[in-house]
Every structure is written in structure tokens, then in C-alpha cells.
Amino acid sequence: MFYIDFPSWIKPQIIPGLPVRWYGLMYIVAFGLAYWFFQRQIKEDGIKVEKDQVGDYFFWGIVGLILGARLFSVFIYSDERLYYFTHPWMIFWPMQNGRLVGLQGMSYHGGVVGGAAGFILYCKRKKLNVWLWGDMICTAIPFGYTFGRLGNFINGELYGRVSTGPLGMRFPQASRFSLDIDWVRQVVEEIGLNTGAASTVNLPRHPSQLYEALFEGIVLGLILWFVIRPRKPFHGFMIGSYIFGYGFFRFIIEYFREPDANLGYVINWGPEENFHLHHSLFNLSTGQILCFLMMASGVGIILWARKASKK
């Protein structure tokens, strides 16, 4: 068998019947872990801070992160952007059909922009070294980010493209495909899936949330913490390294993630487009374009910080 089923014992709710989900808990753990790594750097480097300064710094950053992540999701990724232009009060409205559903749809890239704006504004307001504090937060983020992606996995969302490999997983909420489609029948035959008398089938997907948790979280975090941090030549180097490193890993993993159905490929230079399968390295998604801009920005920030350090 060339796939596994999503574990049936994993449920989004921590306690059945109560509106408390693992996804929310994972984000609390993520922020808590980032806060711990931030405080550890302050202690190890002997940096003097005022009371509540770190907490306020995180508060400004988290507010900016939420604003940026939501706005990017609504106006770049959503196919309902025209609705939000005419109903802007609904962008942050957490209710749907009389139920509390939270903010469904958050963009990582938007979170980076908004979070950076919040952190920078706080540093400017308190006359703190933007490069130094930025280095510390960028070194602390990856380990927390790991838990955010684990929350996506528990929710069974943000799954990847159709997979015929041993890591393929069938997610209960994934869209089903008609067996009348040629490529669907080919995949079914290749993985030996028994469809019975069904007319549609749930095909295995790449668990791209776990790929991201591993490479954009743990691997990148270890590289930043143990390899780059002890050798950083100037303040700001960690900021550029994180932005470049995340963009690099995410760019590669985007080949395994399924692009948004309403966007497809932004650049389609390869074979005939079918974003459910991987066809070509030259078919690029919106996420990959943003990741390329992140890598370029990372290099630019390092050069900028290097110049600033010489003054």
C-alpha cells in the first residue's frame, strides 16, 4: 500500500462538545515557546531590559501579525475580496451563522509583514535597537512556528498535492475526485486503491503541514540557533538569515503543497496545468513568488544591516 489514512483518533476538539480546539492551543504554545527562546537570548547575552518591555514587544508584534495575516489572506488569497472591499467590517468578524468560528484564513507572508511592522514601531517608540531585537525574535520564531503547522495538521487542513508515494495520506476533509477523469484512474491503479462501486475517490495527499513543521520550523530553528547565531558578524544578520531561510524551505515545499484553487499557478511555463499534481519546476504558485521575494529581501536586509553596522 502506497498511502496511509489520516489517524481517526485525531480530533480538532480537545474535549468533544466544547469550543476548545488543538489549533488554538498550538498557537498559544507557539507564542509561549518563542517568548521562552527570546528571554533565553536576553539572559545569555546579558541584555538589559525594562520591566514588561519584552511582553509589550510581543504584544505589538502579535497584533501586527494578526492584522497582516488576515488582510493578506482576504485581499490576496481569497476569491471574495470584492465582498470584503464593500463590507470591510466583516474582515475581522469572528461569527458565522450565529457561531463563533474565529478568523478563518490567515496568511503567513502577511503575518511577517504585519508582525515586522509591529515590532519596528515598538522599537522606534521605545528607542530600542531594531536590529538587535529583530535578531532575537527571528531566532526564536521557528521553534514556535512548528506547533502552528502541527495545529494545521490536526485540523486536517492545508494538505498537499495528490501523492503516489509512501508518505501519501488521505485526509477526511480533502476534496474528492471523479473516477471519470483519466489521471484519477491512473493514480488509483498505481497505488492499488480499492474504490468499490463509488463514483468519486479521496486520493492520498502529501502531508505538507508536517513537511513545513520539520523544515521551516525545526531544521531552520536549529540552523539559526546552533550554526548562525554563535557566528553572526553584526546585528541584523539573523533577521536576513531567517527571512532567506524560511523563503528557501517554503519555496521547495510549495511544490508539494496544493495551490489555492481560485489562484492556480501564477507562472505556468511547464506542461498542461493541473495543480492537483506536480508537473514541472517551472509552474510557480503565488506562495512561491512571495517566497522568492522573501529570499531577495533576506539578502537585501543583510547588506543593509552590514552597511548600518559600519557607521
DSSP state of 76: I
Structural domain includes residue 6: no
The predicted structure's pLDDT at residue 310 = 87
3-state secondary structure of 124: helix
pLDDT at 308 over 70: yes
The predicted structure's pLDDT at residue 1 = 56
φ, ψ dihedrals at 203, nearest 5°: -90, 155
Give per-residue burial for 224-240: e unless 16+ CB within 10 Å, then b: bbeebbeeeeebbbbbb
At residue 116 the predicted structure's pLDDT band, cuts being 50, 70 and 90, is very high
At residue 12 the predicted structure's pLDDT band, cuts being 50, 70 and 90, is confident
Written as nine digits, the cell of 139 is 531566532
Global pTM value: 0.90
Structural domain includes residue 233: yes
CB atoms inside a 10 Å sphere around CB 270: 14
Arithmetic mean of pLDDT over the chain: 90
Structural domain includes residue 93: no
Number of structural domains found in the chain: 1
At residue 279 the predicted structure's pLDDT band, cuts being 50, 70 and 90, is confident
Task: Give dist(CA 200, CA 209) in Å, integer.
Answer: 25
3-state secondary structure of 265: strand
The residue segments making up the domain with residue 292 are 11-48+129-160+207-310
Helix ranges, 8-127 (H): 22-45, 53-72, 81-86, 108-126
Structural domain includes residue 176: no
Structural domain includes residue 185: no
Span 138-189, pLDDT tens digits: 999 999 999 999 999 998 988 999 999 888 999 999 999 999 999 999 999 9
CA-CA distances (angstroms) from residue 22 to 65, 67, 100, 286?
A: 20, 22, 16, 28
Nearest C-alpha neighbor of 222 from the set 196, 241, 250: 241
Contact between 159 and 208 (Cβ < 8 Å): yes
pLDDT at 272 over 70: no
Task: Give dist(CA 153, CA 74) in Å, integer.
Answer: 22
DSSP β-ladder status, 3-5 and 168-170: parallel
Q: H-helix or E-strand containing 168?
A: strand 168-170
Displacement of CA 291 from its chain's centroid (Å):
11
Amino acid at 300: G
Structural domain includes residue 169: no
Structural domain includes residue 197: no
